[in-house]
Amino acid sequence: MTWFEEKLYDHWRQSFKIGRVLFHEKTDFQDLVIFETPGFQRVLALDGIIQVTQGDEFVYHEMLAHVSTLAHGDARAVLIIGGGDGGVLREVLRHPVERCTMVEIDPGVIELCRKFMPDISRGAFDDPRAEIVIADGVKYVAETDRKFDVIIVDSTDPIGPGEVLFTEAFYASCRRILTERGVVVTQNGVPFLQPEELTTTHRRLSKLFPDAGFFVAAVPTYVGGFMTLGWASLDPSNRARPVEAIREQFTKLQINTRYYTPEIHVASFALPKYVQDLMTKE
């Protein structure tokens, strides 16, 4: 096999020239492959769908972690659903959170990403504030009696084990376990190619949260234009946090990012018209 072909869509495919396949096996939950490619270094694919690449993972992990945490402004308890590669965990732990709980269904993803792509988690799994739970995220949020300031749903697409993480029941459980100003952000696909996913998510989040919408990021290997990240909050003022306040808090962190800036944070909520139209589509 000299090319890895992603067949997420019937009419559109992307291929990566394979340098070396490092691992390929069916776990209890999904087909997992890690391969090297000249353009993006190492790549993780689950059930044939690109999940994370060393080349562009910073875009997505920085935006999920920093937009949610800096919009909230005082996040102490953070929950990650999915995220087995450890990239979001790494970025969240750059904030002075007290604890970051990660609920991942497939221990194989954690184990193999730690082994073959350790620079993505970069030691985050060993941070004393990190708590790793192996469980189905939909079950965890339905049963936990803990509360969280920020919930980050770093899931696969709504096929296979990730499907339950796009349901109204899941979002309702997330709302139940949020603190009073809580924020939820989600992986919500590429609307140009997955329009129904955006319309459905917006309908479900709007029913449950006073503030629901999306923000965008340009992730090269999530082909088809802007990727949308779902946004929901119990406090509408979180989304409107002024760039000056975000910049002041961000500067204090003394962290270097490669995509996120306070200005991109604010600008990312300005949606293209075709995305806005999908939000209101019946």
Per DSSP, the residues of 187-252 read E---TTT-HHHHHHHHHHHHHH-SEEEEEEE--TTS-SSPEEEEEEES-GGGTT--HHHHHHHHHH
154 touches ligand SAM by CB under 6 A = yes
The residue range among 82-90, 115-123, 210-218, 230-238 that interacts with ligand SAM, by the rule CB under 6 A, is: 82-90
Annotate each residue in 17-46 with x if it binds ligand SAM (CB under 6 A) or - if it does not, as one string.
Answer: -----------------------------x
Q: How far is the CB of 118 from ligand SAM (least distance, A)?
A: 15
Q: Is the separation of the CB atoms in 23 and 34 below 8 Å?
A: yes
54 in contact with ligand SAM (CB under 6 A):
no
Burial 141-155 (b: 16+ CB within 10 A, else e): beebeeebbbbbbbb
Residue type, 25: E
Question: Using CB under 6 A, which of the segments 33-41, 131-139, 192-200, 261-269 binds ligand SAM?
Answer: 131-139
Q: Are strands 14-17 and 3-6 parallel, antiparallel or unpaired?
A: antiparallel
User: Residue 86 or 262: which CB sits closer to ligand SAM?
Assistant: 86
Structure tokens at 131: 């708590």
Handedness of CA 200, 91, 5, 218 (dihedral sign): positive
Sort residue 261 into left (φ over 0), alpha (ψ -120 to 50) or beta.
beta
Which of 34-42, 77-85, 142-150, 248-256 is the region at the interface with ligand SAM (rule: CB under 6 A)? 77-85
CB of 214 to ligand SAM, least distance (A): 14
Residue from 161, 182, 191, 230 binding ligand SAM (CB under 6 A): 161
136 lies in the site for ligand SAM, by CB under 6 A:
yes
Cβ nearer to ligand SAM, comparing 165 with 178: 165
Among 8, 45, 52, 130, binds ligand SAM (CB under 6 A): 52
Is 185 in contact with 238 (CB distance < 8 Å)? no
Output 187 or 201, the one with its CB closest to ligand SAM: 187
133 contact partners, CB below 8 Å, separation of at least 6: 101, 102, 103, 104, 140
Residue 154 known to be catalytic: yes
Q: Scan residues 168-227 and list those touching ligand SAM (CB under 6 A).
A: 187
Which residue in the list 47, 85, 154, 157 is annotated as catalytic?
Answer: 154
Task: Tell whether residue 109 is a contact of ligand SAM (CB under 6 A).
Answer: yes
Name residue 12's amino acid: W
* C-beta separation of 67 from 215 below 8 A: yes
Residue positions annotated with a catalytic role: 154
Chain residues binding ligand SAM by CB under 6 A are: 46, 51-52, 60, 81-85, 103-106, 109, 136-138, 154-157, 161-162, 164-165, 187
